[in-house]
Amino acid sequence: KLDKNIKKIYSNIENKQFTKSNQHYFIDSDTKLLKYVHMENDRDFPVIVVPKSLISKVLAIIHLPYFGIKKTYQFLKCRYFWYGMYSDTENFVKSCPKCMENKHHRIPHAPLQNNFIPKRPSEFVSLDIVGPFSNQQYILTLIDHFSKHLELFTLTKITTEAVTDCLFAYICTYGRPDMILTDLGTQFTSEIFEYFSKSLGIKMNHTTCAHPAANSVSERINTSIKSTINSLMKDGINFKNAARIHKNLYNGAKHSTTGYSPNVIHFGRNLSLIFDTYNPDIQVQQIDKGYYLDKILSDLNKMYDKTYENIADAQCKQNKVKQTQMLNT
């Protein structure tokens, strides 16, 4: 309430002096000032109004994974509000020393693609190994090519046994994928790994030596993982927690290809992220369970159709850009 502008809004609300400028504000049961903000789903959602003195602190927390301007702003706008939020976000990210350092690590452009496009989660998953990192450890990445959902396992050794154990843990949590794409690393081509995948009815595909970039989804995400985890470790966060933070926030951010967050496509809802400490008061509605289930399934099917369409469109656009680049070289 020490903030001059917020103090004025508080006073108007408490005295029931509602005007056009403060009609979307309200005070919750914990005396926090909130504002209803119109979201992309055509719904008004309450977000916390941030006083000027706390803007830098909020930006630092939300920028924890060192994502770019767009993703950082997406995280902010559905949780907080202050005037000039986008320009403040832009200036903060552009002046971030670690972000400037990571600019030198280029994310590879996707090659010409004629990839199989899945139509649901767990239909097509890719596995890859990232590392070694500065602590001589590695990360096994598992990426769902439909939802873009990311799972990370930290490894001290990259043996067949270690990789197979991680895949088994993944299957026990998320279910068996129909198809897996890997490179020709010995961990993925060994008799043990092939026997394991075959016994579970998983179809295996491998990128070739001639076209190692065929798994462009993993290649691009691996670069982002390296940048984020190295930055977090420099901040004093241990390797395992750095991987957990990246996974949590990556899966909660809207993906540029699908138009949805990986969590929404994979689980049908947004999950709380590590910096979500506030739960707005939501009035519970009495609804018919059968109708609710039918609506969820209907909404999921619509989202799956839109996701497939968005992935196909993105692949087509990437190919056109690549073809133009090839003609100009």
Tens of pLDDT along the chain (329 residues) come to 567 677 777 676 676 776 766 777 777 766 677 777 877 666 778 888 888 889 999 999 999 888 999 999 999 998 998 989 999 999 999 999 888 876 655 555 555 455 789 999 999 999 999 999 988 999 999 999 999 999 999 999 999 999 999 999 999 999 999 999 999 999 999 999 999 999 999 999 998 664 555 566 777 888 889 989 999 999 999 999 999 999 999 999 999 899 999 999 999 988 999 988 776 655 555 667 777 778 888 889 999 999 999 999 988 887 777 667 666 66
Instruction: Note the pLDDT of residue 282.
Output: 56
User: Domain 119-328's class?
Assistant: alpha beta
* pLDDT at 233 (0 to 100): 93
Question: Which pLDDT belongs to residue 32?
Answer: 75
pLDDT for residue 103 = 63
Q: What does the pLDDT read at residue 112? A: 47
Supply the pLDDT for residue 113.
52
* Domains of the chain, residue spans: 4-102, 119-328
pLDDT at 209: 60
| 3-state DSSP of the chain | CCCHHHHHHHHHHHCCCCCCCCCCEEECCCCCEEEEEECCCCCEEEEEECCHHHHHHHHHHHCCCCCCHHHHHHHHHCCEECCCHHHHHHHHHHCCHHHHHHCCCCCCCCCCCCCCCCCCCCCEEEEEEECCCCCCCEEEEEEECCCCCEEEEEECCCCHHHHHHHHHHHHHHHCCCCEEEECCCHHHHCHHHHHHHHHCCCEEEECCCCCHHHCHHHHHHHHHHHHHHHHHHHCCCCHHHHHHHHHHHHHHCCCCCCCCCHHHHHHCCCCCCCCCCCCCCCCCCCCCHHHHHHHHHHHHHHHHHHHHHHHHHHHHHHHHHHHHHHHCC
Fold topology of 4-102 = Endonuclease III; domain 1 (1.10.340)
So what's the pLDDT on residue 320?
77
